[in-house]
C-alpha cells in the first residue's frame, strides 16, 4: 500500500514538472515571438520562415529579368564578374538602375540611327559606384537573457537579415553629345582655319626676324645656316600663299601648314568632333608633320620661337619624329 502511495506521488510530481516545463516553454516561445516582432515587422512572417528554412535568398522576378537582359549576348552582354558586386550590394534595384541607364543610352543613339557602341557601355559601367551592405552582429547573450533560453537557430538568419543595411548602387545618367551635321563640320573647318590665321601671322614675323639675323652670317652650301635659311624662305612663301588663299575662302593651304594644331582647335570648338568625319583630303592634311633637315636646324628654329607646344616635327636626317612639349625660348 505504501508503494502505491509513493508511486502516485511520483507520477503527480512528474505531471507537475511537465506542466511547469510546458508553461516555461510557452512563456519562452511567447517572449521569442515578442523579440522577433520587436526586431522588425518582417522578422516573423511565413515568407521569412520559408526563406530561412531553404537557406537561400530569393531574387525578385523584376531583378532577375534585369540581370538576364544585361547578360544577354545579343543585348548588352555584361559578364557575371561585373554584375556580381552590384547584386551583392543588396540594393534591390541595383541591376534595374544600370539597365535603365543603358536602355536610355541605347535610345539616344537609336534616335540618330546609330547603334550603342561598346565603348559607351564600358564608359557607363566604369562610372558605376557600388556601396556594399553592412551587417550589425547579433548580441546573442542579450537575446538569450530576454527569452530565457537560446534563440531557435532557424530564426538567426532572419535576425541577421534585419540587422543588415542594404547597400546602394549609383549609376550616372548618360547624355549623348549630338553628332554635328555635315554643314556644321564645314563651319567648324572654316572657323578652325580662321583661328589659325593669327598664328600664321605671328610665325611669319618670327621667320622674318630670324631671316634678318641670317643675312649677316656666312652660309656655305650644305651648311646648317644655308639649310635653315632655305627652310625659312620656303616657309615664308607657303605662308604668303596660304594667306592669299584665305581671301578666296580657300582654307586648304593654311590647314596644310598647321595640320595637328587645326585638329586640336576643332576639338576645342566642339568636343563631339570626330576627325574621321572630315573629308579624306583634310584627314591627310591633319596627319602631316613639319619636315626639318636635321637636329641643328630644328634647335635653331626652336630658339627662334617658330614652333609651339604640340607641334610635331620630323627630322629628315635621323628619321625621328619630335613633339614640342614646352614653350620654347626666343632668340
DSSP 230-242: HHHHHHHHHHHHH
Of 140, 170, 200, which closes a domain?
Answer: 170
202 and 86, same structural domain? Answer: no
The answer to which of 14-18, 49-53, 143-147, 256-260 has the lowest mean pLDDT is 49-53
- Chain centroid to Cα 281, Å, comes to 34
Q: Is residue 37 part of a domain?
A: no
Q: What is the pLDDT of residue 43?
A: 42
186 and 166, same structural domain? Answer: no
219 and 143, same structural domain? Answer: no
307 and 191, same structural domain? Answer: yes
319 and 193, same structural domain? Answer: yes
Q: Is residue 11 part of a domain?
A: no
211 and 141, same structural domain? Answer: no
300 and 209, same structural domain? Answer: yes
274 and 218, same structural domain? Answer: yes
Note down the domain range covering 238.
182-323
- Inform me whether the pLDDT recorded for 271 exceeds 50: yes
Q: What is the pLDDT of residue 74?
A: 83
Q: Is residue 28 part of a domain?
A: no
Name the nearest CA neighbour of 166 among 200, 210, 135, 212: 135
The answer to which of 12-21, 87-96, 97-106, 169-178 has the lowest mean pLDDT is 12-21
The domain total for the chain is 2
CB proximity list for 330: less than 8 A, separation 6 or greater: 206, 303, 304, 305
User: What is the arithmetic mean of pLDDT over 296-302?
Assistant: 93
Q: Is residue 227 part of a domain?
A: yes
Q: Is residue 160 part of a domain?
A: yes
Q: Is residue 216 part of a domain?
A: yes
Interatomic CA distance for residues 112 and 92, integer angstroms: 33
DSSP 5-59: HHHHHHHHHHHHHHHHHHHHHHHHHHHHHHHHHHH-TTSSSHHHHHHHHHT----
Q: What is the pLDDT of residue 304?
A: 92
203 and 137, same structural domain? Answer: no
Of 105, 138, 170, which closes a domain?
Answer: 170
145 and 67, same structural domain? Answer: yes
- Inform me whether the pLDDT recorded for 59 exceeds 70: no
pLDDT band at 53 (very low <50, low <70, confident <90, very high): very low
H/E stretch holding 266:
helix 259-269
User: What is the arithmetic mean of pLDDT over 121-128?
Assistant: 91
Q: What is the pLDDT of residue 46?
A: 36
- Inform me whether the pLDDT recorded for 178 exceeds 50: yes
pLDDT band at 276 (very low <50, low <70, confident <90, very high): low
Of 127, 150, 170, which closes a domain?
Answer: 170
Q: 74-101 pLDDT, tens per residue?
A: 889 899 888 988 888 878 888 999 999 9
Amino acid at each position: 500500500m505504501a508503494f502505491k502511495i509513493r508511486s502516485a506521488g511520483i507520477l503527480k510530481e512528474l505531471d507537475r514538472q511537465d506542466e511547469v516545463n510546458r508553461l516555461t516553454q510557452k512563456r519562452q516561445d511567447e517572449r521569442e515571438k515578442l523579440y522577433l516582432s520587436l526586431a522588425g515587422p518582417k522578422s516573423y512572417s511565413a515568407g521569412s520562415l520559408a526563406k530561412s528554412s531553404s537557406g537561400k535568398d530569393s531574387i525578385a522576378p523584376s531583378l532577375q529579368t534585369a540581370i538576364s537582359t544585361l547578360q544577354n549576348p545579343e543585348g548588352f552582354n555584361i559578364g557575371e564578374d561585373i554584375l556580381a558586386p552590384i547584386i551583392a550590394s543588396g540594393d534591390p534595384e541595383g541591376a534595374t538602375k544600370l539597365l535603365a541607364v543603358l536602355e536610355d543610352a541605347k535610345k539616344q543613339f537609336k534616335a540618330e540611327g546609330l547603334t550603342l557602341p561598346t565603348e559607351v557601355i564600358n564608359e557607363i559601367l566604369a562610372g558605376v559606384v557600388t556601396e556594399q551592405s553592412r551587417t550589425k552582429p547579433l548580441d546573442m547573450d542579450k537575446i538569450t537573457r530576454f527569452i530565457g533560453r537560446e534563440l531557435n537557430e532557424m530564426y538567426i538568419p532572419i535576425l541577421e537579415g534585419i540587422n543588415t543595411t542594404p547597400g546602394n548602387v549609383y549609376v550616372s545618367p548618360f547624355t549623348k553629345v549630338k553628332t554635328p551635321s555635315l554643314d556644321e563640320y564645314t563651319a567648324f573647318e572654316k572657323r578652325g582655319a580662321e583661328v589659325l590665321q593669327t598664328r600664321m601671322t605671328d610665325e611669319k614675323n618670327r621667320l622674318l626676324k630670324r631671316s634678318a639675323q641670317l643675312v649677316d652670317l656666312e652660309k656655305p652650301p650644305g651648311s646648317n645656316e644655308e639649310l635653315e635659311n632655305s627652310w625659312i624662305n620656303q616657309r615664308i612663301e607657303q605662308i604668303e600663299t596660304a594667306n592669299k588663299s584665305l581671301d578666296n575662302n580657300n582654307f586648304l593651304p593654311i590647314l596644310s601648314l598647321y595640320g595637328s594644331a587645326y585638329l586640336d582647335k576643332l576639338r576645342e570648338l566642339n568636343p563631339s568632333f570626330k576627325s574621321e568625319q572630315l573629308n579624306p583630303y583634310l584627314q591627310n592634311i591633319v596627319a602631316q608633320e613639319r619636315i626639318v633637315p636635321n637636329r641643328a636646324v630644328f634647335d635653331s628654329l626652336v630658339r627662334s620661337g617658330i614652333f609651339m607646344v604640340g607641334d610635331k616635327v620630323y627630322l629628315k636626317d635621323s628619321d625621328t619624329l619630335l613633339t614640342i612639349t614646352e614653350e620654347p625660348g626666343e632668340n
